[in-house]
Amino acid sequence: MNWKPNPLLVLTGIALASAPVVAYSKIYVSTEQAQQLIFPGKKFTVMPMVITDDLQGKMKSASSVSEPLQGNRIYKAADGSWLIVDEVVGKHEMITYAIGISPNGAVQGIEIMEYRESYGYEVADLSWRKQFYGKTAADPIKLNKDIENISGATLSSKHLTDGVKRIMVFYDLALKNAVPK
């Protein structure tokens, strides 16, 4: 008995092997929506800043985030509140998020703006994001220290935590003295 491959099975196997990997992306909120969710009713003005290599280096050593912070996504309210839009790598793709900082230098809120990974989206859950509320640059803001990990979203949890630490260090070094008294 001679074995002959079924042409339909061979073609199906080739089709499955060459099928594109489906990318996943979810846009949660825009910058304006994030501002209103974190600071309802407040008006913000864009406050672009040049972020020097020295400052980028200090933020990287405090947080291990190597992507440079973009200085054109910084917003300030008249009362001294700040909103900063940042990006960190999840596992493979970028996570765009906004962090609100109150006039006293504490995290007021965090909103995930766009999540591009196919899993690990649990970092967008309010119950996880609330762990950051009230944190300042003086806090560790470290996964498994003062921020709990999410099983199945470990890299996204770690990188967002590092991103928040970076932003709080940025606030401490560059924005704190710009806040009106």
- Per-residue pLDDT 10s for the chain (181 aa) are 676 766 665 555 565 555 555 557 899 999 999 999 999 999 999 999 999 999 999 999 999 898 999 999 999 999 999 999 999 999 899 999 999 999 999 999 999 999 999 889 999 999 999 999 999 999 999 999 999 999 999 999 999 999 999 999 999 999 998 744 4
Which domain covers residue 110, as residue numbers? Answer: 42-178
Domain count, the chain: 1
Distance CA 70, CA 50 (A): 8
pTM: 0.85
Residue 54 lies in a domain: yes
Residue 159 lies in a domain: yes
**21 C-beta neighbours (distance < 10 Å), count:** 6
Residue 152 lies in a domain: yes
Closest CA to 86 of 178, 171, 179: 171
Cα distances (angstroms) measured from residue 126 to each of 55, 57, 103, 132 = 30, 31, 22, 10
